[in-house]
Amino acid sequence: MAHGRPTKRRDMFPAAFILPPLVWQASFFITPLVFLVWMSFWRVKNFRLTRDFVTANWERIYNAGFFYDAYVHTFTLATVNALVVSVLAFPAAYFLAFRAGPKVRQLAIVFLVTPFFTSYLVRIYSLQIILAEHGIINSALGLVGLGPITMLSTSFATVVGFLTLTLPLVILVQLLALSQVDKRLMEAASNLGVPPFEAVFKVVIPSAKVGLIMAGTFGFLLSFGDYVSPLFLGGSKPPTLSILIADQVKSGNNWPRASVVAVTMVVTLVAVLLLMTSLAYAKRGKK
């Protein structure tokens, strides 16, 4: 009995810590999400939102060929970005985790965080100058008698934009994951004669699997919903789901149809997140 009260207080302690984020999420994520779903059943009459409960918006969007085209295109681009960014980030993260000294690592972290201080929109606009037909890359190619290569308004340019957005973050998450790898395992592998390159695949990657998968998942999530790169670098050609949302709103104030697209995106993101999380934490099959 004497220990009853302190134990209860200890139980309340973590609850008090977790309450603010819970309230925050309920207020600014769950509530708007419920509203978003609700609004997808409204109607628009003469550019004015009207409360209703009709399934016309869902039928219209889900019967539109352009919606499926946009969905496949968006999913493909986000998947490509997740794979490319994971591959590009890994050597840098590996070097920083295992080879670089503490000072180099700290400096690198500062440089990786710095891009977040500058506007993403400005960075994307500056990429236009680099990728344009008369831009820096094509001018350089012209000097050696090559090009011009069309890069702007292509999916390539969109993925370049996605990489600008996600690469620093993915390197940081991978670095965090690799820093947790027990270096004694690598030494053991080395002592047992496993070549360093092979050890990366047999020891490092399996050990950091959860973090590496989640880093790639971040790469997918951020690019799946991005609006800026597909618009300013991809030239909306073809449109992604986020552009489709903007189009529905700006062309007719059609928030309900935009909500249908948005809800579909949220469901997709949750499904991908759950799938990747279960993959990340999946145990190896028993022998």
Partner 1 sequence: MTKVDPFAFWSRGIGRRQFLAGSTALGAMAATGLGPRRAHAEETLNILTWPGHADPAVVGPFEEKYGVDVVAKEYVGGENMLALVNQSPPGTYDVVLSDAEYVVMLRDGGFIEEMDPADYPFDSLFPEFKKFPGHWLDDKLYSMIIRFGYLGLAYRTDALTKEEVESYAIMWDEKVKGGVGFFDWYLPSMGCLSLYNGNEKPFDIDDAAFDKLKETLFSLAPQSSGFYSMADTFSSLTSGAAKCIPGIGDWITLLLAKDGVPVDATVPKEGGIQWTESMSIMAGSTKKDLAKAFIQYMTSAEGQMRSAMMPAYNASIPSKPGWEMLNAEHPDEAVRLRMTFDDRNVLDEYAEGKIHIRRTPVQQDIETWNDAWTEFKSL
Site for partner 1 contains 132 (CB under 8 A): yes
Site for partner 1 contains 142 (CB under 8 A): no
Site for partner 1 contains 133 (CB under 8 A): yes
Site for partner 1 contains 260 (CB under 8 A): no
Instruction: Return d(Cα 45, Cα 49) in angstroms, integer.
Output: 6
Site for partner 1 contains 64 (CB under 8 A): yes
Site for partner 1 contains 63 (CB under 8 A): no
Binding residue for partner 1, selected from 89, 247, 272, 276, defined by CB under 8 A: 247
For tokens 């969905």, name the residue: 71
Compute how many residues bind partner 1; rule: CB under 8 A: 33
List, in order, residues 6 or more apart from 243 with CB less than 8 Å away.
70, 227, 230, 231, 236
Instruction: Return d(Cα 167, Cα 112) in angstroms, integer.
Output: 9
Cβ atoms 81, 162 nearer than 8 A: yes
Site for partner 1 contains 155 (CB under 8 A): no
Instruction: Return d(Cα 228, Cα 126) in angstroms, integer.
Output: 13
Site for partner 1 contains 66 (CB under 8 A): yes
Nearer to partner 1, 211 or 256 (CB): 256
Site for partner 1 contains 47 (CB under 8 A): yes
Site for partner 1 contains 62 (CB under 8 A): no
Min. distance of Cβ 77 from partner 1 in angstroms?
A: 14
Nearer to partner 1, 115 or 147 (CB): 147
Site for partner 1 contains 245 (CB under 8 A): no
| C-alpha dist (Å) from residue 164 to 5, 29, 51, 149, 276 | 53, 27, 41, 20, 23
DSSP annotation of 285 = P
Binding residue for partner 1, selected from 124, 244, 260, 276, defined by CB under 8 A: 244
Binding residue for partner 1, selected from 161, 219, 234, 256, defined by CB under 8 A: 234
Q: b/e map of 240-272 (b: 16 or more CB within 10 Å)?
A: bbbbbbbbbeeeeebbbbbbbbbbbbeebbeeb
Binding residue for partner 1, selected from 37, 115, 128, 207, defined by CB under 8 A: 128
Phi, psi of 49 (to 5 degrees): -70, 130
Min. distance of Cβ 223 from partner 1 in angstroms?
A: 19
Instruction: Return d(Cα 259, Cα 46) in angstroms, integer.
Output: 18
Site for partner 1 contains 36 (CB under 8 A): no
Binding residue for partner 1, selected from 98, 235, 266, 280, defined by CB under 8 A: 235
Instruction: Return d(Cα 98, Cα 102) in angstroms, integer.
Output: 10
Site for partner 1 contains 147 (CB under 8 A): no
Site for partner 1 contains 134 (CB under 8 A): yes
Site for partner 1 contains 232 (CB under 8 A): yes
- The vertex-17 CA angle with 13 and 22, nearest 5°, equals 130
Chain residues in the site for partner 1 (CB under 8 A): 46-49, 64-66, 69-70, 128-129, 132-135, 150, 152-153, 231-232, 234-239, 244, 247, 249-253
